[in-house]
Structure 1
Amino acid sequence: MNNDTVRLEDIKDYSWEFRKFLDSFKSRDGVFKYHERVWRMINMNQRSLIVDFDDLILYSPALAEYLIDHPVEALEAYSQGLREFVSSLNPEFAKSVSRFYVRVRNPPRVMKIRELNSEYIGKLVAIEGIVTRVTRVDAKIVRARFKHVTEIGEIHEFDYPPEGEIGERLEKPPFCLICHKAARLELVPEKSSFIDWQKIVVQEKPEEVPGGQIPRSIEAVLTSDIVDSARPGDRVVLTGVLKVAPLALGIEKRGSKTIFAFYVDVNHVEVQEKALEEVVITREDEEKIRELSRDPWIREKIIASIAPGIYGYWDIKEAIVLLLFGGTPQILPDGTRIRGDIHVLLVGDPGTAKSQLLQFTSRLAPRGLYTSGKGSTAAGLTATVLRDKVTGEYYLEA
């Protein structure tokens, strides 16, 4: 199982074994768990099936081990097994979907970003952290249509590659695949196949950063139906394949092509804590809020809810409440604008719960991030405008 070479017949065997898993796995209460999930996927016109890693281990440790050691081949085989299973339930739906995805959640171990190293390249990993940056959604080509106009005016069109999908780079074939002659080939975008593509940056959680060090981050790539599944400020667990890409080095280091950067090709995104602006307020929530607004003691109750484990500091907690709620921008008669944002500076002796109050506030505030002297320089907290090497977008990095 740990051999670096995976035989084609093995892939076919694992595809068939995964289909049997979908067909026969039962939950503890005797329900065919994945029958229900696949039918729900069909009824909702979706292309992804979420599989719990624990279920794979219970049914077949070989399936789970194959996924850990050879995730690219395993996910391809399991995707084919899913297609065959869907075809047995609804052939028309299976024909209408170009590709199915098996999304794996609850892996055996969730790693810290700083624990990733070259040992895990090409393996299935799971990391947790805070999303700090999200690019726009772009299109990634997975199957190209090329056109060749011959000398006598004939038009030859063909898909490339003939089987499978394009890897990390799009390269033109050396000749026309129809007439087998060297020719000038033209890409036909409107007849090519694309999927959605997005890059995010995930940073270590503040509470996991060792003393005297700055938080580390890693880039991750989302594709297809999991793009836009996380926003800046979300705490997430990403499951995917650890890969590497060559660093874009300067001219003075043009010969240094042996340095590669890690990134995660994401298979599944689990949002543990959403940013506050994503919370949906239901009609029942709205009625409860209106009811609380009529409570004569609502001000005191809100203040008392700030860091309830810390006794006293009523005035400080009230200031934090005002900070979190914010104010209303005002424009004076002379045109002067007074911003609505409120800033609070806490000054006090050591051991007076300043850090605990700030940490509590950072967990409540949308996109809140707690930092301390160990994560800043002598110049203080700085920010830099950078340009993304892939998308060309400008972004702010603190």
Structure 2
Amino acid sequence: MRVKDVRKVVLAYSGGLDTSVILKWLQTTYNCEVVTFTADLGQGEELAPARDKARLLGIREENIFVDDLREEFVRDFVFPMFRANALYEGQYLLGTSIARPLIAKRQIEIAEQTGADAVAHGATGKGNDQVRFELAYYALKPEVKVIAPWREWDLTSRTKLIEFAEQHQIPIAKDKRGEAPFSVDANLLHSSSEGKVLEEPWDAPDEMVWQRTIRPEDAPDRATEIVVEFERGDAVGIDGQRLSPAALLTRLNQLGRDNGIGRLDLVENRFVGMKSRGCYETPGGTILLAAHRAMESITLDREAAHLKDSLMPRYAELVYNGFWFAPERRMLQALVDESQRSVTGEVRLKLYKGNTVVTGRRSPHSLYSMKHVTFEDDEGAYDQTDAQGFIKLNALRLRLGAMAGRRGGGL
């Protein structure tokens, strides 16, 4: 991209060292107007300093956006994903992955609102986030120009970033002058730590890595019992209290934290091709997944449930790789949402020292029939002799195969 091609750019801005350097670098390299966008996704940090720092770096007030997106994040991104029970590689609850399309969506909306012709992000050229951001940008605004400084500049070390910051009078927090022990990304769904001291997969993570949960060993010796209420696949209340999506996830996070629930030490396969080690904390999400699956267990037809489970890895992979706005994800979402029509009711759980244990489930749409399943007299609800023909028909191909094998000398 030629420098003169960019007039105004919307930067995903945290106010930290990296994105503050990017802000000034955009101004000096592209000689363009910069709009900053800071999203409150429940990361637990005060966002006012990001606004103040943007002002300090010469950004006009009308070009500074700090948006509270917590409710939209949970309602329109986290909950739809949890309807699918999405787990990447069978373990990861996709806390970072699901936040990126919302940030990108809002960047594009701000670009339209302010007349910007470009967007920029602070993701590196080694990770997944560059892909997630940019696939979303292009899906929503095909003609948009994308600037990825980490793929363009020569500021390839922390030392060079700090030198650039000092040259341009960018304030640097004292703890940024040394190497951070690991990188952290957080939102209302999870906290992710990776890099630096966590790069050796044999070394156990230090306790300081875990910021959102207490040690399971330190959790109370008495279980916490809760009831989660669902409507059409989404959690809507806890212990009889109706809550908004963000408030509900916040409450589950508190419960999970206090009971040491939701830690995951994972080596995963990045979309760009390398393996990476991450330490994730998803306290509320871990409880929510267990509750949702329990709710589905009595409300979904067997084959519908099995079909849904067979499609889940593909859905999770699409989210992980950044294809949230792709037609295939939308198609899968339509199927998932159709399956959730009857996923309404209550689930009772015990939370105890890192464990989430389902102890009860009930629904007005339950497919569970006590009359059919009982070991006592079912009063004719189920004719056990029907099983004989069912078994013989299912065994027919096995019998034919075995007889053919004997004729051919096989087993």
TM over 0.5: no
| Greater strand proportion | 1
- TM-score, structure 1 length as denominator? 0.24
| Greater helix proportion | 2
- TM-score, structure 2 length as denominator? 0.23
